Amino acid sequence: AQSVTQPDIHITVSEGASLELRCNYSYGATPYLFWYVQSPGQGLQLLLKYFSGDTLVQGIKGFEAEFKRSQSSFNLRKPSVHWSDAAEYFCAVGAAAAGNKLTFGGGTRVLVKP
Amino acid sequence: KAGVTQTPRYLIKTRGQQVTLSCSPISGHRSVSWYQQTPGQGLQFLFEYFSETQRNKGNFPGRFSGRQFSNSRSEMNVSTLELGDSALYLCASSLGQVGQEGHIYFGEGSWLTVV
């Protein structure tokens, strides 16, 4: 069975500082990996995805993520955080054998200090 | 291009009642999935429909059901509502098989409160 762990429940970062959100997954084969962001009261917006190929993936809003098979990780990064990045971030894993079912991590809530 | 549309956005129901939520996927998308989001359990997969057939099902009781119509619109129904069913219900659509035909887009969700 697939599982996703986001070790950090909350992260506080100063505006302009760098941000890294951790995601570890468990799956036997090559997974499809996603990062979504959710603002309060809203749905999920896709930031980026990894299916295959280049392990460094660029997304929207200046985010990037790196797939490391040896560490079963897919960490999300942003070089310089803006106040509007305050939100909850979810890592998710899917697989070809699972149709379009996604398994989500518990989320990391990001607070941005001025 | 319109996104995933969910209706109603907010609703309040009483224990024991039933509720139907609707989802219109992105035009041309054939796969619709439903998720339940609660503070305690996080995001949990309910079921997925593809071309009117249920392709995947999560670990929810039989009170939770769904269907998909020929135009790919989907509904989910929860019968005999319990307080614990209070949640944000999210619908997601995809062109076909993730990884082969694109990725998965979510709607804004339907907020259900059971009192």
For B109, nearest residue in chain A (alpha carbons): A43
What is the mean pLDDT, run by run of 10 residues, along chain B of 115 residues? Answer: 90 98 94 94 94 92 97 97 97 80 86 98
Question: In angstroms, what separates the C-alpha of B7 from chain A's closest C-alpha?
Answer: 13
Amino acid at A28: G
* Cα–Cα nearest to A5, from A55, A75, A58: A75
Which comes out higher in pLDDT, residue A96 or A114? A114
Which has the minimum average pLDDT: A10-14, A57-61, A92-96, B86-90? A92-96
Integer-rounded Cα radius of gyration of chain A: 14
Residue A69 predicted with pLDDT over 80: yes
Interface check for B104 against chain A (CB to CB < 8 A): the answer is yes
Give which of A5, A34, A88, A100 to mutate to test B binding, by max B Cβ within 10 Å.
A100
Do B90 and A104 lie within an 8 Å CB cutoff? no
Which residue is closest to B34 within chain A, CA to CA?
Answer: A101
Put simply, whether B102 touches A (Cβ < 8 Å) is no
Contacts of A3 (CB under 8 A, 6+ apart): A25, A26, A27, A93, A103
Residue type, A4: V
Q: What is the pLDDT of residues A13-37, one digit of tens each?
A: 999 999 999 999 998 677 899 999 9
Average the pLDDT over each of A8-12, A75-79, B54-58, B70-74 and give the range with the smallest value: B54-58
